[in-house]
């Protein structure tokens, strides 16, 4: 039975509630710069996924159902009847799965830098990344992750931001990191995206290789009420590289 775990969270601001769901090997602080742009108009709730940050670390494997139940448990603890739910990367899979399971609890939905409708080649590339980390270790593959997440210009101009992101990865239990990367690689939303009833923002970076504009166009077409936005000039780490632009689109 999956009753969920009590994830650690933070609340800032006032107004209609937004729950922010981060991605693989990150923490709730991934949303800090975005939240700073939104907290004057919204109650912004960010939380650490199970196994991440300072949330409990139950033994893996974790499933998408575990993550969805944790989110529902958090919303219930906070006594929030309905919320806007915005997820990035793996969080962009958790949010839609949550909205599908509990549609009455989600006012609007954000799918940021996520993927669906992967081709055989797309899936093979993601699985190759996971296999490489399993074979060689996560720390040895950090340069590969950095190149997938950030543009060269941002890396050069903001080394402290990149370093902080890598520290989050290294602080995550390796078994958890590999588990959730597998979860991200193996989740396919395409068969059920058409069941999402919440108005949705589908947003990704122009140069995001794994969560490409091509895949996000398919996502936006599958959701009955969706708006597609492609942020020019950025890769996967849009929350860190373009937080003001992300916040503007969310607003």
CA torsion 202→208→213→219, rounded to 10°? -40
Q: How does 92-120 read in b/e, with b if 16+ C-beta sit within 10 Å? A: bbbbbbbbbeeeebbbbbbbbbbbbbbee
Residues near 121 by beta carbon (within 8 Å), at least 6 away in sequence:
none
Beta bridge partners of 88: 112
pLDDT in tens, the chain (251 residues): 578 999 999 999 999 999 999 999 999 999 999 999 999 999 999 999 999 999 999 999 999 999 999 999 999 999 999 999 999 999 999 999 999 999 999 999 999 999 999 999 999 999 999 999 999 999 999 999 999 999 999 999 999 999 999 999 999 999 999 999 999 999 999 999 999 999 999 999 999 999 999 999 999 999 999 999 999 999 999 999 999 999 999 99
Token digits for 3?
């009753």
Q: Which domains does the chain have, with CATH numbers?
A: 9-250 (3.40.50.1820)
- Residue ranges of E strands in 136-221: 200-205
């Amino acid at each position: 039975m999956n009753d969920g775990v009590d994830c650690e969270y933070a609340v800032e601001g006032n107004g209609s509630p937004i729950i922010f769901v981060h991605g693989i090997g990150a923490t709730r602080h991934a949303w800090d710069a975005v939240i700073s742009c939104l907290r004057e108009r919204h109650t912004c709730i960010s939380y650490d996924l199970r196994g991440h940050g300072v949330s409990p670390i139950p033994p893996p494997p974790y499933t998408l159902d575990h993550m969805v139940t944790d989110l529902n448990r958090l919303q219930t603890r906070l006594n929030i009847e309905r919320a806007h739910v915005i997820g990035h990367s793996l969080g962009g899979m958790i949010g839609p799965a949550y909205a599908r399971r509990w549609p009455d609890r989600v006012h609007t939905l954000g799918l940021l830098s996520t993927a669906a409708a992967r081709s055989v080649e797309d899936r093979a590339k993601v699985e190759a990344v996971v296999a490489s980390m399993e074979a060689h270790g996560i720390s040895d593959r950090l340069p590969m992750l950095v190149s997938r997440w950030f543009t060269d210009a941002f890396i050069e101009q903001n080394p402290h931001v990149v370093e902080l992101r890598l520290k989050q990865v290294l602080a995550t239990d390796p078994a958890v990191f590999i588990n959730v990367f597998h979860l991200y690689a193996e989740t396919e939303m395409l068969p059920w995206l058409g069941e999402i009833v919440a108005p949705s923002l589908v947003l990704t970076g122009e140069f995001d290789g794994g969560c490409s504009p091509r895949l996000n166009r398919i996502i936006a077409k599958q959701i009955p009420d969706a708006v597609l936005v492609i942020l020019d000039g950025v890769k996967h780490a849009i929350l860190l590289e373009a937080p003001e632009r992300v916040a503007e689109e969310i607003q």
